[in-house]
Structure 1
């Protein structure tokens, strides 16, 4: 068995070459999470890897082999990370969550280290593998299982734009370092998020997962209407989705995120203005209660929505309630 390792600057790129499966297990088998590796001999493998902004990026070239992440090897304190694989050459098969993706050159798949998975490489292969915390992918945790081990084609749609970028990333690992490297990696993950979002829009837009996420987001908005700092960007961050992905979600309902927030706040204010038990509360208090920090802005959009100012609406509501109460008393007397 021979093993050679070198570290280069400026990117702190680590390189390691082995000439046996046993040595490959030592290099790869516990590098990030415990993995089971099997395959025929003779075996040869080369690993080039670097870490940028918490993302492990590896260029892997190896003989035929199989990688398994087994349930028995998963423990509660394992890091909650996702893996992305880009097939650079050869063929790969990714299996997780009951899905199977057959990858050819340029294809991408994502899988979760917290659940069992299998990677099969029937022949010599080369892949770019990125390992990163889930929060760095702009996609809700609720949607990830629907997208694991799904082939994201590199030869069609936006994959024709994204796959070449990722391939160049693999070819230029030595050039990725410092602040520019961080930007490049984040750009790569943004592109992958766009790729996954496109796949969801084309194949899962009517699926239960979309309705579940939309419902979860709407519940979060309604529970936080009193916070004047509530914003689309914060909602996206809380739900681990990109801002673009969040807007896509609401577009299915012919709404925008900010429009939905404003609509819900105005409706809560309207109901408070009609509530006779809250008549001692000022218009400003009602506005502030539901997240409107600017009284004049609140008055303008309330009038635009309901056709009268908040004070006029409250007086009208009170008059209507008095009329209704008077009619009820008259009915009792006539009875």
Structure 2
């Protein structure tokens, strides 16, 4: 199911039932309520699921303590942004403060405890691993981490997600689709920008950060049919040979990576109602392909069917 798929507020229940109702509602989204005062308890959540499978869950509540536990469905990477208020968590045995505009990120298999001493409003975003694997070669953190809102990339991403949180009541799968397309890129850029070189693995981390910048350049220039590894290398002040070596280090090459990213952009446009009036040829040329026959062959190899057939397939609810 896409679009708004879950709404809950404790105000719908008598005061004496609100704590149990809130506990049950949180359990439905893989959060365990550890502690909450029954006096003036308030909780509200609303979830929107986008067409690319990314879940956006806005949570609002009074002071309470949680455990986030996605181990029953761990195939995702998630981030929880503090939109209003503040939170605390325990990382490596130390209490870490998460301020307004900052976020905590974690792989799905990690259990994370969160404490809120005052009213709070949060946005919890869950990104399926297959959406990240399609795009990223650099490893994501395997432990929870906090990213400051002062981080330039994170600041931009948080501003974008605040906008999503503000329209959740009326959001649809199509409303959040542009955010789905951008969010993974901002996430990894934020993580790489905020982590020290030692945390990224020394020289390997430096290469990972450089590769991510190269990926961003490629993403911005996918529509250019003349995009070449020589041009991208020049943009980053490295030799074409070194750029090729960087791709070899992740078991790929420049030409294949660009082709896969262009195919993915075409695939998304073929499914989008926003591009329903465009021909397949218009879409493939828009994303840098210059030959219909070779595009169709590559698309079939990547997705198991022709672009025309893919466009006709009904999108089934989850």
TM-score of the pair, normalised by structure 1: 0.54
Q: Is the 8 A contact 2:197 2:205 kept in 1?
A: no
Q: Residue in 1 aligned with 2:66?
A: 67
Q: Residue in 1 aligned with 2:27?
A: 29
Shift of 1:195: 1.7
In the alignment, structure 1 segments of 5+ residues that lack a partner are: 1-9, 218-231, 266-290, 294-335
Provide the C-alpha distance between the structure 2 equivalents of 1:257 and 1:61, rounded to a whole number of angstroms.
Answer: 50
Shift of 1:39: 1.8
**Which of 1 and 2 has greater Rg?**
1
Q: Residue in 1 aligned with 2:6?
A: 14
Of 142, 148, 164, the match for 1:145: 142
Q: Residue in 2 aligned with 1:45?
A: 43
Q: Residue in 2 aligned with 1:261?
A: 244
In the alignment, structure 2 segments of 5+ residues that lack a partner are: 12-17, 220-232, 256-318
CA-based RMSD of the aligned residues comes to 4.1
Q: Is the 8 A contact 1:39 1:64 kept in 2?
A: yes
Provide the C-alpha distance between the structure 2 equivalents of 1:255 and 1:84, rounded to a whole number of angstroms.
Answer: 33
SS in 1 for 2:145: coil
Shift of 1:62: 0.7
1:287-302 matched pairs, under 5 angstroms: none
Shift of 1:23: 0.9
Provide the C-alpha distance between the structure 2 equivalents of 1:133 and 1:97, rounded to a whole number of angstroms.
Answer: 26
SS in 2 for 1:162: helix
SS in 1 for 2:66: strand
Q: Is the 8 A contact 1:110 1:150 kept in 2?
A: yes
Q: Residue in 2 aligned with 1:104?
A: 99
Distance 1:82 1:256, change over 3 A: farther
Q: Is the 8 A contact 1:84 1:111 kept in 2?
A: yes
Shift of 1:59: 1.1
Please state if 1:193 is matched with 2:188. Answer: yes
Provide the C-alpha distance between the structure 2 equivalents of 1:212 and 1:48, rounded to a whole number of angstroms.
Answer: 40
Please state if 1:184 is matched with 2:179. Answer: yes
Q: Residue in 2 aligned with 1:84?
A: 79
Provide the C-alpha distance between the structure 2 equivalents of 1:110 and 1:132, rounded to a whole number of angstroms.
Answer: 11
Q: Is the 8 A contact 1:99 1:150 kept in 2?
A: no
Provide the C-alpha distance between the structure 1 equivalents of 2:246 and 2:49, rounded to a whole number of angstroms.
Answer: 45
Distance 1:257 1:79, change over 3 A: farther
Total equivalences in the alignment: 225
